[in-house]
Structure 1
Amino acid sequence: MNAKDNFLKVKHLYNRAGFGISYTDLQKISKKKLSKAVDGLFKTADKDEALALVDSSESKRQLLVQAGLYAKKDLTDEEKKMRQEIVRMQNEVSRDLNIAWVNKMINTDAPLREKMTLFWHGHFACRSNNPMYAQQLNNIQRAHGLGDFRTLLIEVSKSPAMLQYLNNQQNRKGRPNENFARELMELFTLGRGNYTEQDIKESARSFTGWMYDKDGSFIFRQNQHDAGTKTFFGKVGNFQGEHIIDIILEKPQTATFIAQKVYKFFVNDTPNPTYVKELADHFYNSKYDIAELMKKMFSSEWFYNPENVGTKIKSPAEFLVGLSRSFYVTYNKPQVLIQLQSSLGQYLFNPPNVAGWPGGQSWIDSSSLMLRMRIPSLVLNDGEIDFSGKADPEDEAVIALNRTTKQKTVKSYVNAQANWPKFLDTLPKSLSPLELTEFLLQPKLNNKITQMVSDNKGLRSTAVEITSMPEYQLC
């Protein structure tokens, strides 16, 4: 492989497995074999630094106070204020948690670890108004995101955030709640059409008693568990939740379902059945080792085929994080990161529903594309932006924290600083505007782009111009 090909392949690898790469690192890594570049990504991913914004002891204290207040029929005015104050504090901490994760993605030295966390964040989509639960689930996805899928699945299933979101707290003997059991198969493991309604009923009975305590700890309540015999996928026994998960994992369809979702997220929105089967077989035979699945994909020749390069629309998170990493951006008022996510349609920790964000073409419509094309120049030049976008009701509640009562739209200076000297120092002194354009864009350059940048005099102005183009929205 010639040096130019390896340069482009490593760039593609880091755009998909992470959030981009600096020119300096790209030059250095592309001198090695591609297999070494893949190994390097996994080596840096060994770092697992949990999000630690939320103080668990304070959160547990609030939970116990809330539990006491909700248990009362009539509250005094003081108690009502106390309850409102706890909710207000939780909303503020939830906002800060979102910003903390975005900043972690921007500054991480383990981009693959964070990219996998982002993938599982969408796969195991969950909303929680309790920031401690949300942080806990995010850390589960980070800790096990490249590990054993069975462990990840069980830990997610036992998390208070998911137990609350999918109503398993109400799943008890004699009154089974089927919500979690249904989504476990439809969205998390097998996919629609690969189970029966009876399988859902028997699975729900097996998960009775999986709950969380007043302080937010998982607890198996034996007295709420249906200990009767169940029949699930033809197997008969006194099943509990772990047994159901093991039976699901015995089915190769589970490996196929996960492999296809991984393919759509990291490779192409249109799955190639041959390559998906290749990944699924490898995943199943590895006993659901997620790292093995990812290494197989990143090491396959087809991952670097032209139809898979520069053809995926960046999610809002990938777009904002990638731009911020590339230009070493500091947000002096980080609240703008919430507003940008809401306006672009991906407010982290707040998926639209349990199916997560649809992705692909849904990221772009006429209004969001225009906003995306404006954001680079606003972020890189500290411009003013009008946030009257398409936030959902919960997103609006967060945005409203910074609104005055009379404002109908939110106007704000981005108040961000790109570190231009640091960015320019990563580039060779002899680099031309055209070469910078080739580096910043993933799609192949057409004549229009080539002619447009050929007259440019400076690298800084070229960078702002290129990142403001529709082609920059592709990775």
Structure 2
Amino acid sequence: MIANAKQMRHLYARAGFGLRFADTKATANLSIKQAVAGLFKASEADNPLNMIASNISYKDFLLANEGTKKMFLQEQRQQEKALNISWMTQMSSTDTQLREKMALFWHNHFACRTQNAWYAQQLNNIQRSNALGNFKTLILQVSQSPAMLQFLNNQQNQKNHPNENFARELMELFTIGRGNYTEQDVKESARAFTGWGFNKEGSFVARPNLHDAGQKTFLGKTGNFGGEDIINILLEKKETARFISKKLYKYFVNETPDDAHVNAMADVFYNANYEIKPLLEYLFTADWFYAEKNIGNLIKAPVEFIVGLNRQFYITYQNPDVVLQFERALGQVLFYPPNVAGWPGGKNWIDSSSLMYRIKIPATVLNGGVIEFSGKVDPEDEAFIATTRRQQEAVATKIQASADWDKFLTSIPQGSTNATIAQTLLAVAPTGNINQIINKTIDIKALAIELASTPEYQLC
């Protein structure tokens, strides 16, 4: 059965960054299954970020003189900015939007901070490469990445002096969830991961002389376990499949999980040996995914909002640094999650300040105007503080952005009414305010800008 326009908009809003007018013709006569298959087909390509070409050695930094250290810090800041902008640009322009949307999910699930942009890029490429693949492969590669080993102190985890940080977060946040393990399991798991580290080239190394080779008892099993054994035992527990499924449900469907639907997802995931694609195919083709209560009920994450705006209006930035200021003002700077638990999301995205910016940004960007930022200070965010000068002062920034209005306007199907244009741009049914905009606005460009500047545009 051919999907209706509302279902197609919902699918693209959740499995990607929104349905563009240019997509409406190509998707007009597809069934939901065909549309889902098309999204997977378009996302088969894996386009890794390669903005950072070399690793800056922290050891060399420590040995350098003051002048060289200053240059090192400047280079570090430039690399962090370049990596962020590179990913935003890729999400805003790629056809592999399902892969990027899932890479964004894993970026938050495996939340990690590192001042080494080479390590950050490496971890991001691991998450993108495995975004639609196998969860076991993904979690093993993440666990062995220098960024995560450094962030959660496993580089210092060695026999006789075990460090429990990584072992704890592996269970609490990455796999099985709270309530499904004991403090003793954390201790035994930490022993299994002793010796896991990385070398100065940024490659994983298992250091046998630092590994605790003794017997360990973990989640009821006893053996001479290493780190990979711990991961295997965690995946044997169906609670892990359910934990991931619940998080995906909240990301793609509804902030309030439906236990029956989450359990059905967990069954699919577990029985598919943690292959991610069958789980997502099940999710995106389920009748309940398209239920009225699950449409237009999620608040766009700041990155989703910016990327969706960029894609819909084909925006290019002469001053890409302004995108970083958007992220900061809205509360989501890529590669800088607030803590190891990641961004909480949902209604946490909105406060009086961020909502003001969300409503102001579209009109400002689409008209190439000036916007004033009052930067929010993150004490750990040293690198980005330098990009907005004194954070406590308002900074007026000329957007220097341009939308491709010719491309946008010619992509709108002929004969489209103001109401159909509004239905494509917004996830929710028109209300009194939206109907007023629809009825009073004659110029399509003005209509699009007004609609994108409404609170309703913040929903997906």
Query: Which category describes the TM-score, using the shorter chain as reference length?
Result: over 0.9
How big is each residue's C-alpha offset from its partner over 1:213-256, in whole Å with a ceiling of 9 and x where there is no partner? 12211100000000010000111111000000000000000000
Q: State which of 439, 442, 461 in structure 1 corresponds to 2:427.
A: 442
1:61-80 aligned at under 5 Å gives the runs 62-63=56-57, 66-68=58-60, 70=62, 79-80=65-66
Report the equivalent of 1:28: 26
Equivalent-residue separation in structure 2 for 1:24 and 1:67 (angstroms): 50
Q: State which of 358, 364, 375 in structure 2 corresponds to 1:378.
A: 364
Describe the SS at the equivalent of 1:219. Answer: strand
What is the CA-CA distance between 1:399 and the residue it aligns to?
4.1
1:4-403 aligned at under 5 Å gives the runs 6-56=4-54, 59=55, 62-63=56-57, 66-68=58-60, 70=62, 79-395=65-381, 397-401=383-387, 403=389
Equivalent-residue separation in structure 1 for 2:458 and 2:35 (angstroms): 25
How big is each residue's C-alpha offset from its partner over 1:319-357, in whole Å with a ceiling of 9 and x where there is no partner? 000001000000110000101000100000000000000
Contact preservation (8 Å) 1:347, 1:395: no
Residue 313 of structure 2 aligns with an amino acid whose one-letter code is: F
Q: 1:123 to 1:255 in 2, by over 3 A?
A: same
Equivalent-residue separation in structure 2 for 1:94 and 1:168 (angstroms): 23
What is the CA-CA distance between 1:407 and the residue it aligns to?
8.6
Contact preservation (8 Å) 1:339, 1:399: no
Equivalent-residue separation in structure 2 for 1:363 and 1:238 (angstroms): 45
What is the CA-CA distance between 1:400 and the residue it aligns to?
2.2
Contact preservation (8 Å) 1:342, 1:395: no
Runs of 4+ aligned residues of structure 1 deviating over 2 Å after TM superposition are 393-397, 399-403, 405-409
Describe the SS at the equivalent of 1:287. Answer: coil
CA RMSD in angstroms comes to: 1.5
What is the aligned-residue identity percentage?
52
Equivalent-residue separation in structure 2 for 1:123 and 1:407 (angstroms): 31
Contact preservation (8 Å) 2:316, 2:402: yes
Q: Give the TM-score of the pair, scaled to structure 1.
A: 0.94
Contact preservation (8 Å) 1:140, 1:156: yes
Contact preservation (8 Å) 2:377, 2:391: no
1:453 aligns with 2:438: yes
What is the CA-CA distance between 1:394 and the residue it aligns to?
4.0
Residue 231 of structure 1 aligns with an amino acid whose one-letter code is: T
What is the CA-CA distance between 1:34 and the residue it aligns to?
1.3
Equivalent-residue separation in structure 1 for 2:13 and 2:391 (angstroms): 42
Describe the SS at the equivalent of 2:83. Answer: helix
Residue 200 of structure 2 aligns with an amino acid whose one-letter code is: K
Equivalent-residue separation in structure 1 for 2:308 and 2:155 (angstroms): 38
Aligned residues: 460
Contact preservation (8 Å) 1:432, 1:459: no
Contact preservation (8 Å) 1:343, 1:387: yes
Q: What runs of 5+ residues in structure 2 fail to find an aligned partner?
A: none
Equivalent-residue separation in structure 2 for 1:54 and 1:440 (angstroms): 35
Residue 335 of structure 1 aligns with an amino acid whose one-letter code is: D
How big is each residue's C-alpha offset from its partner over 1:420-456, in whole Å with a ceiling of 9 and x where there is no partner? 0100010123222222111110011123322331121
Report the equivalent of 1:75: none
Contact preservation (8 Å) 1:54, 1:132: yes
